[in-house]
Amino acid sequence: MDFYKGKRVLITGHTGFKGAWLCQMLINAGAEVTGYALNPPTKPSLFEIANISGKMNSVIGDIRDLSKLKETFIKTQPEIVFHLAAQPIVRESYKNPVYTYETNVMGTVNICECVRTSDSVKSFLNVTTDKVYLNKEWEWGYRENEELDGYDPYSNSKSCSELVTHSYINSFFKNMNIAVSTARAGNVIGGGDFASDRIIPDCIRAAIKHEDIVVRNPFSTRPYQHVLEPIYAYLMIAQKQYEDIKYAGYYNVGPDDRDCFQTGALVDLFVKHWGEGMKWIDKYDGGPHEANFLKLDCSKLKKTFGWQPHWDLNIAIEKVVEWSKCWLTNGDIEKCMNKQIEEFMKVGK
């Protein structure tokens, strides 16, 4: 993390769950952090609970607003850009497909355009999702050269985001000495995720109310990982390609096979760590199509950088519960986050 000390870094989507954790890591590293995003998407929000805005330059703006985004680039002159701004919920994309495409596709066009017209950017990372692939429900993990064609509006819009980035690389960035990568991460869990229609936040809400956890599809299999896993990988990719453009490319970021869990098994782990006699019930609600089986092959990331996951899913759930109980007892959230970041980084040494 010493690399980031004094670096000018711009993060879109910084007020979201992953964005807040990324900001905290960069602030700890001594980076000059600017964020560009809408107001926090949830109430409560990790960004506000941890008072992250007081430690960085936070710009509230819409990723669809190209002129304001360009203005932010001109003012801050970022060297490194992380693009996280998105409409990230599958079920929400069925309700609001136009907004989802506007944000996830045209938002990517806008950030790519700002990078293209900037004189300062050397490293740009577009964060997408494991759902960009044409999901054939097969047993092995998808590799970076597999076909992109997400099914639902969210997944498909992120496939489009990848294609936009590829076009800008081929049309512009290759001739500009700007290192550009995309990172396709699996499902993330961690303290401070208050989103709707996500299994761990649903578990925590049920625990607070002393209710049974409702699981819509207990037999769907997903690659679950703690939020610090992909964030650390994003930071690593952005650094390595900054130092040598040969590392620019497309990378899957996911857990080992042992942490591709069925949703019901994931909730079993949560119940074990939370205690208090919690239990869950299987209650399919007839919602829209979601994939049943999906996992990633992350051998490229491992071979290129020597990367390995730090925490297995059991430890990841333990950290989620630790953070959640700190918050529920009005504990020091920033201290809790920094403790978990320190513990995570020690594993990699």
Per-residue pLDDT, 20: 98
3-state secondary structure at position 208: helix
Per-residue pLDDT, 290: 67
CATH value of 2-347 in 3.40.50.2300, 3.40.462.40, 3.40.30.10, 3.40.50.720: 3.40.50.720
* Average of per-residue pLDDT across 233-262: 95
3-state secondary structure at position 338: helix
Do 290 and 90 touch, CB atoms closer than 8 A?
A: yes
Containing 9, the helix (H) or strand (E) segment is: strand 8-12
**Pick the residue with more confidence: 251 or 140?**
251
Residue 164 CB-density burial (10 A; 0-12 exposed, 13-18 middle, 19+ buried):
buried
Answer yes or no: is pLDDT of 149 > 90: yes
Q: Which amino acid is located at 172 in the chain?
A: F
Q: How far separated are the first and last CA of the chain, in Å rounded?
A: 12
Per-residue pLDDT, 186: 83
* Average of per-residue pLDDT across 116-125: 98
| pLDDT tens-digit series, residues 190-226 | 999 999 889 999 999 999 999 999 998 888 888 899 9
What is the token pair recorded at 17? 């769950």
